Structure 1
Amino acid sequence: MTDTTSTTSHLATTEKTSILRVITYAGAIIAFLIGSGFATGQEIMQYYASYGFWGVFGTGSLVLVLISYVAVEFFLTGRREQFEKPSGVFYHYCGKHLGIFFDYFSILFVFLSFTVMISGAGAVFEEYYGLSKFIGGIGLAAAVGLTVWFGLNSLVDVIGKIGPIIVVVAIALGVYGIMRDPEGITTGNAILPSLDVTQASSNWFLSGLSYVGFCMLWLAAFLSTLGKTVKNRREATAGGLVGGIAFSLACMIVGLGLLANMEEVFDAEIPMLVLASSLGPWVGALISVMILAGIYTTAIPLLWTVSARFFTDTTKKFRYLTIALAVLGTIIGLVLPFSQMVNIVYVINGYVGIVLLALMIIRTMRHLATRTKSATRTKS
């Protein structure tokens, strides 16, 4: 009787903590992806709103399906394969030669993405606070470097809790943008051809693929490593789906909010702050903090991914490399304007990520075919 009670109690506890872990995993995905591009609205402007209705709903639907698949696949593969190094995920999907290319290319891209975060923080300080961009960039680099210093476990705890909060606030701001002028959505869609809006690609479909492509190069090493800690397939699948779907829906809502106010935000470095400031100075100040928090939660795993490629995250070498990369990233990130950094770094690397996506889908189909054959043989 005692054993039965103990077992029941254990199962109940496991169920409760399972939900918490799923939310934490989903939160880590969301927090990783929001970054300076999403939080500032610049990324959503270039990949979604700049194409009008097709951008918001077409790109949004494509991203929802593919990002959800990618997140689940990386989680499950990391859990199943237990890679010794984060870079093992690229060799798994791409083979030896292409694996080497993606291994080193992704590290370069992830590092350049970290420099975009630095640039984004600098842009917020310069455009909203009227302070030197060097204060924002250096301040972010210092905060991120210290967080990464303590390794992956503390990293997931930090970003997994902050991410969902930021997305909720961003969605609320997007909803406000829509409700402020519902007819503005149609107006914004109509005037887009006459505005000089920076776009990620020549059409919404390629924009969506490029968006998924660069997100994949961010997520690959991080989620496959995090997948090693996942307790079971159900948690991995649920965490990936919740994170991917929630993030994609947030992008679509924010995209609609920007489209409804296109005439005001199309040429802003920080479109979300333009929306927030219309609610009042205190709201703008609050949103500016949220944007900086979003940048922080993405910059952390980006910097961790680069350092972890070369050294285990509990070693002194890892910590010293982290500080050196933070300094180098700050120098690079404060050279170009933020909007240019987003357009150059994300778009070019997004197309390379599409190749990885194709290889992943092929590998997944082969894996499913092998499992189906094995199941058929077992039954017969």
Structure 2
Amino acid sequence: MPQPSPTQAHLATVEKTSVFRVLTYAGAIVAFLIGSGFATGQEILQYFTSYGYWGIFGTGILVLVLMTYVAIEFFTVGQAKKFERPSLIFHYYCGKHLGTFFDFFSILFVFLSFTVMVAGAGAVFEEHYGLSKYIGGIGLALAVGISVWFGLKSLVDVIGKIGPLIVVIAIALGIVGIVQNPGGIAEGNALLPGLELTQASTNWFMSGLSYVGFCMLWLAAFLTALGKTARSRREAAAGGLVGAVAFSVACIIVGLGLLANITRVGGTEIPMLVLASDVGPLLASGISVMILAGIYTTAVPLLWTVSSRFFADKTLRFKYLTIALAAVGTVIGLILPFSQMVNIVYVINGYVGILLLVLMLVKTGTRLISRRSI
């Protein structure tokens, strides 16, 4: 008789009811997605706010719909199929050859995303604390490497609890930005054409697709692995739904807060710290810690995803590879400026993710048709 995985045993012990399990799953999704881009505000600025109303509400609704579909789909397929390797999710949607391409491409992208987290931590230390970015980048890499060393068992519970707290704080900060300057939203929207802001794409629609695309490449293997621990399809779907909706709503609110203060946050590396500084230096210091926590909760599963692709969780080879990847990622992440890393890594890979989205929709459609014909 097969023994339950460490993750299954852990969640069954810690989470006594289905409601708590669903919230833990949702929290893990949110924690994975917030990262350095969301927590700093740089990602929201480039993908949402820089397009004005259409960017915030158009992109926001597009992300809400597609992200909900993606999270539920990965979660429920992982729960049903229980793949030996999480990366086999790509073969399920894309076939053997194209699936292999997405498998290795996603691993490369996930690793590069880890380097963006390192760059984000370095930017926080440099812009807010006035310290060397190397302290922040190396410090994050050490913390992440140690966390991944202990495997997925402790990872889900930790980030599942931290994630929702960070999103609540980010939403509150976005609301503060709106309340302090409510007229700034309309003013900011009118001023946008004259501002030289970095954008993720040429229009808000493609920006939204690109955003969902790169998030998908992040989530695929992680949610597939997490789906194996769900007790039922309903529990998996609920976790995906709550996590995706919470994250999408947070993007819209934070986007509005940044738009209300666009003349001040545009061109900064850490826009969220600008909003926090308006309230007071003490809050800004607290937000800087929140940002670092957000970066940490995303960097850990990113690094875990890469290491687990090649070796089983918690094995000696897995641990050695984790340390090596953390070291290489630190070097890469500290070379380029953070805002450039976000724009280059996320945007390029977002368009590749759009192809995966199309293939997923086709697979889902054919699956539903085959069920009805039975």
TM-score of the superposition, structure 1-length normalised?
A: 0.94
The aligned counterpart of 1:177 is 177
Letter in structure 2 aligned against 1:316? L
Letter in structure 2 aligned against 1:38? F
Separation in 1 of the partners of 2:248 and 2:372?
Answer: 31
Change (3 A) 1:225 1:14: closer
What is the alpha-carbon root mean square deviation over aligned residues?
Answer: 1.2
Separation in 1 of the partners of 2:124 and 2:131?
Answer: 9
The aligned counterpart of 1:148 is 148
Letter in structure 2 aligned against 1:194? G
The aligned counterpart of 1:301 is 301
| Unaligned segments of structure 1, at least 5 residues | 1-12, 375-380
The aligned counterpart of 1:65 is 65
Change (3 A) 1:312 1:15: closer
After TM superposition, give the deviation of residue 15 of structure 1 in Å: 10
Deviation per CA, 1:47-81, whole angstroms, max 9, x where unpaired? Answer: 00000000000000000000010000001111111
Separation in 1 of the partners of 2:346 and 2:233?
Answer: 31
- Asked whether the 8 Å contact 2:125–2:136 carries over to 1, the reply is yes
Separation in 2 of the partners of 1:181 and 1:75?
Answer: 40
The aligned counterpart of 1:114 is 114
Letter in structure 2 aligned against 1:229? T
The aligned counterpart of 1:3 is none
Separation in 2 of the partners of 1:373 and 1:14?
Answer: 41
Structure 1 SS opposite 2:86: coil
Separation in 1 of the partners of 2:346 and 2:155?
Answer: 23
After TM superposition, give the deviation of residue 14 of structure 1 in Å: 12
Query: Which sits farther off after the overlay, 359-368 or 13-22?
Result: 13-22
Separation in 1 of the partners of 2:17 and 2:337?
Answer: 44
Structure 2 SS opposite 1:267: coil
The aligned counterpart of 1:81 is 81
Structure 1 position 30 matched with structure 2 position 30: yes
Letter in structure 1 aligned against 2:212? V
Separation in 1 of the partners of 2:204 and 2:312?
Answer: 40
* TM alignment of 1:177-326, pairs within 5 A: 177-326=177-326
The aligned counterpart of 2:8 is none
Letter in structure 1 aligned against 2:132? S
Separation in 2 of the partners of 1:153 and 1:202?
Answer: 42
The aligned counterpart of 2:159 is 159
Letter in structure 2 aligned against 1:127? E
After TM superposition, give the deviation of residue 16 of structure 1 in Å: 5.8
The aligned counterpart of 1:134 is 134
Letter in structure 1 aligned against 2:43? E
The aligned counterpart of 1:7 is none
Separation in 2 of the partners of 1:370 and 1:31?
Answer: 35
Separation in 2 of the partners of 1:157 and 1:330?
Answer: 26
Letter in structure 2 aligned against 1:154? S
Separation in 2 of the partners of 1:298 and 1:254?
Answer: 18
Separation in 2 of the partners of 1:146 and 1:157?
Answer: 16
Separation in 2 of the partners of 1:43 and 1:286?
Answer: 20
Structure 2 SS opposite 1:257: helix
| Unaligned segments of structure 2, at least 5 residues | 1-12
After TM superposition, give the deviation of residue 201 of structure 1 in Å: 0.1
Letter in structure 2 aligned against 1:259? L
After TM superposition, give the deviation of residue 247 of structure 1 in Å: 0.1
Structure 2 SS opposite 1:200: coil
Letter in structure 2 aligned against 1:162? I
* TM alignment of 1:364-379, pairs within 5 A: 364-374=364-374
After TM superposition, give the deviation of residue 149 of structure 1 in Å: 0.6
Identity of aligned residues (%): 73
After TM superposition, give the deviation of residue 372 of structure 1 in Å: 1.3
The aligned counterpart of 2:346 is 346
Bigger Rg, which one = 1
After TM superposition, give the deviation of residue 121 of structure 1 in Å: 0.1
Separation in 2 of the partners of 1:170 and 1:43?
Answer: 13
Separation in 2 of the partners of 1:298 and 1:372?
Answer: 39
Separation in 2 of the partners of 1:21 and 1:175?
Answer: 29
Letter in structure 2 aligned against 1:300? V
- Asked whether the 8 Å contact 2:148–2:322 carries over to 1, the reply is yes
Deviation per CA, 1:320-379, whole angstroms, max 9, x where unpaired? Answer: 0000000000000000000000000000000000000000000001111111122xxxxx
- Asked whether the 8 Å contact 2:80–2:233 carries over to 1, the reply is no
The aligned counterpart of 2:93 is 93
After TM superposition, give the deviation of residue 86 of structure 1 in Å: 1.5
Separation in 1 of the partners of 2:237 and 2:80?
Answer: 13
Separation in 2 of the partners of 1:347 and 1:148?
Answer: 27
Separation in 2 of the partners of 1:56 and 1:308?
Answer: 36
After TM superposition, give the deviation of residue 314 of structure 1 in Å: 2.1
Separation in 2 of the partners of 1:241 and 1:14?
Answer: 22
Separation in 1 of the partners of 2:129 and 2:47?
Answer: 27
Aligned pairs, how many?
A: 362
Letter in structure 1 aligned against 2:327? V
Separation in 1 of the partners of 2:355 and 2:294?
Answer: 28
Structure 1 position 330 matched with structure 2 position 330: yes
Letter in structure 2 aligned against 1:241? L
Deviation per CA, 1:295-320, whole angstroms, max 9, x where unpaired? Answer: 00000000000000000012100000
Separation in 2 of the partners of 1:158 and 1:46?
Answer: 29
Letter in structure 2 aligned against 1:29? I
**Runs ≥4 in structure 1, deviation > 3 angstroms?**
13-16
Letter in structure 1 aligned against 2:309? R
